[in-house]
Amino acid sequence: MKLVFCLLFLIFCSSGVAQEKSFLIKNEVCDGGISNYYVATYTIHNDSTYTYRQYNYLNKKDWRSFTEIEPTIIENGILVESGKYFDFIEIRSGKKIKRNGKFKMSENLLIYYFDKGNGKMGRGAVYKLTDRLTEQKVSG
């Protein structure tokens, strides 16, 4: 009887499905005096995979409507835990391509770290948790 109770307890405790998390950053890139803007998103899926999307636009005020345009870059891959960091490995044409740098993930942030040399990591882009992707336009 104790075994049955323990099994039922484990089933109920483990049945809570983790929700996907989406992280967003908006940025400006200056090229020859011309400003270009983009929104980049990482969606972390329940099965330890990710989808990266980048949306480019010309007018800074257009960032709020980024979900209405098609992404210019779409990348899919897997997450691999590496100590206190995560490696994001892109799957392209069946080949695994490791991204430069590493990521740390907290409840509300996804932080990119790059190798500064001498075994030190520098903090790069900070992506914030968002719920803006729930009605995202998906091509396919």
Residue 9: is its pLDDT beyond 60? no
Residue 14 falls within a domain, yes or no?
A: no
Residue 98 falls within a domain, yes or no?
A: yes
Residue 2 falls within a domain, yes or no?
A: no
**Are 51 and 42 a contacting pair, CB within 8 Å?**
yes
Q: What is the mean pLDDT of the chain?
A: 81
Give the integer Cα–Cα distance in Å for 93 and 26.
28
Residue 1 falls within a domain, yes or no?
A: no
Residue 51: is its pLDDT beyond 60? yes
What is the CATH classification number for the domain harbouring 71?
2.40.128
Residue 70 falls within a domain, yes or no?
A: yes
What digits encode the pLDDT tens for the residues 87-117? 999 998 888 888 889 999 999 999 999 999 8
What does the pLDDT read at residue 66? 86
Domain assignment of residue 75, given as a range: 20-130
Residue 123 falls within a domain, yes or no?
A: yes
Place of tokens 């484990």: 10
Give me the mean pLDDT over the 22-32 stretch: 89
Helix (H) or strand (E) holding 55: strand 49-57
Residue 111 falls within a domain, yes or no?
A: yes
- The number of domains in the chain is 1
Residue 87 falls within a domain, yes or no?
A: yes
Residue 70: is its pLDDT beyond 60? yes
**Are 67 and 136 a contacting pair, CB within 8 Å?**
yes
**Are 24 and 126 a contacting pair, CB within 8 Å?**
no
Strands (E), 58-108: 73-82, 85-92, 95-98, 102-105
